[in-house]
Chains A and B, each alone.
Chain A
Amino acid sequence: MSPKQTGQRLGVHPAPQVPAYPASGRIMKGSVNLQPSLRARNRHSLNPGGGYWFWYLLPALLVYILFMAYPMLDSVRLSLYAGTTGTRQYVGLANYTRLFTDPVVSTRFWGAFKNTWVFFAYHMLVQNVLGMLFAVILTSRTMKGRKIYQTIIFIPCTIAVMVSGYLFRLLLNPQFAGPSLRAMGLSALVRPWLGDPRTALNVVSLVSVWQWVGIPTMMFVAGLQGVSEDLLEAADIEGCNAWQTFWHIKFPLILPVVGMIAILTFVSNFNAFDVVYAMTGPNGPPNYATDLIGSLFYRYGVAGEHPIGIPEPGVGAAISTSVFVMLLAGVLPTLRATQGRD
């Protein structure tokens, strides 16, 4: 494939826009920037410094601070207070003590903590590996119909979680779907999947994987398409098989994307809650088997427990802050390991 064709597919119009740069041909071919010298030169002397670049950040920073960072960080402060409006009072670390030592609350917290790791593991090991596999298949040069497949993989992402959750509840409902499944000879599938503490969390996790696998697939496809044709051809000539090509060439090259997806999976799953809410309920039944940190936070901090529904924003903030500290501990090393920062 000629550079020009690739360029057009990229949506870049090489001739009018970047006529003067010989480097652009290589870039548009989707090549890997393998020469470390280029990165070194990136930090060239022409860089004008923070006083200049700050202006590029300003609009984003303003919106972000006003509508997210300030309200959020200020709310984190609530973890040191008890009660709600009108009755709020400073209690120091009492909410944290309660979270980690109160027999009921700490049991729920650690239960939700464990469940969240399981939920995360499913996304990391099933969703992301599946996403990678799909992406490798979809970017294979001779693959036909990749656009159709990719759209199909993405379709579940477009369905509101409330509805996808109910669809699976219907599909797994022993009374409504049971008779049809039996008629199809699938009696083994007729089980109270969502009512059994041993299976519920697995099912909820897999439904979430089903729904969101399109996102890592999309990102891996974007990453793999940047891998140089030359390199792949070289590997081909060397006689590498598909696995070797993947493991020794593609994977190391898209490691930054892998890291990015790992971080996004990590942070989003530790705040996930919709799928549990839609499939089993805010209490994470049966017997708290599907209770995640996200649903625990919602129950204590936002909605309050049924039927009274009086939230304890202090406990909610303590949950979020504890999880935040843990996320930091996970994200920072991942960033360092995969993003090759200076």
Chain B
Amino acid sequence: MDRTKVKPRKTRSLRLARMNLPGHLLMLVWAVVVLLPVYLLVVNALKTRMGMYADPFALPLPLVWDNFRAIINQGNFFMYFANSLMVVVVSLGAILMLGSLAGYGLAHWRGKLARGLYFFFMIGMMLPIKIATIRLMELMKLLGLFNQLWSIILVYIAMGLPIAVFVLTEFIRGLPGDLYEAAHIDGARRSKIYYSIVLPLIKPALATVGIYNLVPIWNDLWFPLIFITQEDKKTVLLAVTRLQGQYTTDWPKVFALLTLSALPVILLYLSMSRQFVAGLTAGAVKG
């Protein structure tokens, strides 16, 4: 069709402009709702505990940098960070790789067995992983993985796979079939199709799965608590626990540590979210 002639450009843009005003309003309201607690987080990281109780909303005057200083000086802050980062990057990388390979396979493999396997993966989303703690501990002991980052990494990979397989299979299944046909006629191997066609096209889905798993992995406390006792293998959140006493918690210090800890997550989010700007979500929109 000849768009330029038919489209009533002016009225449309006007209407859209009008439409965005409430949009911005809602976004701004939500931004306030989001940023108020974040404000509390940041200002109270810059106060003493007494200052925080006195008035949580007050500006931190004078600024108390002791919490940040204590975090960075005491303990091995950068080591904890490196450990957490290592765990998150390796886990996510493996989840996405194994998940997309499996999704590619499941999207094309038709039949009862394939459906059964797909469903087998989904079971993993429906049971609490904590139930398996005892067995996992036995396994880690057997493999000699106690106090090794691999212990938690392997559990996180296994934890992330069900969602990865679920989402990625749906997305890949929605990619147009003639894409493969054309490629195949072209002589491309299926492994090549996966690598050079499917992977780039499902980048938004990969980003979605990555972000979905990023947060729980970064913020998990349970498995590090059980598998890691050695100082040089601790993750950031496990390090937070030393700030939690039996009866009281040094919240301003926790805030300081967690403010710093949120930054890498936001950066990872930003880098991954770049992948789905204007993305194709084939699985989502198939006819």
Contact = CB atoms under 8 A, between A and B. Distances in A.
Direct contact between A and B judged by beta carbons closer than 8 A: yes
B285 interface: yes
Contact of A254 (B237, B270, B285): B285
Contact of B200 (A12, A71, A133, A137): A12
B132 interface: yes
Interface stretch (B61-69, B71-79, B275-283): B275-283
B129 A30 contact: no
Interface in A134-186: 134, 137, 140-145, 149-164, 166-168, 170-171, 173, 176-177, 179-180
B107 to A, nearest CB: 9
Contacts of A71: 132, 135-136, 139
B30 interface: yes
B281 A47 contact: no
Contacts of A52: 109, 190
A41 B135 contact: no
A284 B134 CA distance: 25
B170 A260 contact: yes
Contacts of A6: 278
- Main SS of the interface on chain B? helix
Given A60-B98, A257-B281, A324-B126, A159 B258 contact: yes
Which of A137, A210, A253 gathers the greatest number of chain B CB atoms within 10 Å? A137
Contacts of A132: none
A142 B219 contact: no
Nearest to A217: B30
A223 interface: yes
B158 A21 contact: no
Given A53-B106, A76-B127, A222-B205, A64 B162 contact: yes
B47 to A, nearest CB: 12
A173 to B, nearest CB: 8
B227 to A, nearest CB: 12
Interface stretch (A32-40, A100-108, A121-129, A194-202): A32-40
B124 A64 contact: yes
B70 interface: no
Contacts of B228: none
Given A59-B101, A64-B162, A160-B219, A47 B284 contact: no
A157 B215 contact: yes
B266 A226 contact: no
B101 A60 contact: yes
Contact of B258 (A151, A154, A163): A163
Interface string B42-61: 00100000001101111000
A23 B178 contact: yes
Given A33-B286, A35-B287, A137-B23, A149 B31 contact: yes
Given A69-B123, A151-B266, A36 B182 contact: no
Interface in B215-231: 215, 218-219, 221
Contacts of B165: 60
A39 to B, nearest CB: 6
B161 interface: yes
B198 to A, nearest CB: 11
B176 A9 contact: no
A339 interface: yes
B276 A50 contact: no
Interface string A192-215: 000000000000000000100001
A63 B285 contact: no
Interface residues of A, number: 133
Which of A39, A156, A160, A260 gathers the greatest number of chain B CB atoms within 10 Å? A160
B176 A223 contact: no
B280 A53 contact: no
Which of B99, B104, B121 gathers the greatest number of chain A CB atoms within 10 Å? B121
Nearest to B200: A12
B109 A142 contact: no
Interface string A231-258: 0010011000010000000000110110
B52 to A, nearest CB: 8
Contacts of B34: 152-153, 155-156, 210
Interface string B246-273: 0001010011001001100110011001
A34 B287 contact: yes
A42 B127 contact: no
A221 B276 contact: yes
Contact of B284 (A55, A164, A237, A257): A257
Contact of A142 (B20, B57, B155, B204): B20
Contacts of A11: 200, 203, 274-275
B89 interface: no
Contact of B178 (A38, A179, A340): A38
A219 interface: yes
A80 interface: no
B232 interface: no
A188 interface: no
B161 A63 contact: yes
B242 interface: no
Interface string A45-70: 01111101111110111011011111
A256 B196 contact: no
A72 interface: yes
Contacts of B285: 32-33, 223, 226-227, 253-254, 256
Q: Which 8 A-B pairs have the closest CB atoms?
A: A42-B177, A56-B105, A71-B135, A53-B109, A67-B158, A71-B132, A68-B158, A226-B281
Given A47-B110, A225-B204, A226-B282, 6 more contacts: A32-B287, A53-B108, A57-B109, A137-B20, A150-B273, A270-B126
13 contacts: A28-B280, A49-B109, A53-B106, A75-B135, A76-B131, A137-B20, A140-B19, A142-B17, A158-B215, A171-B36, A225-B204, A320-B128, A331-B126
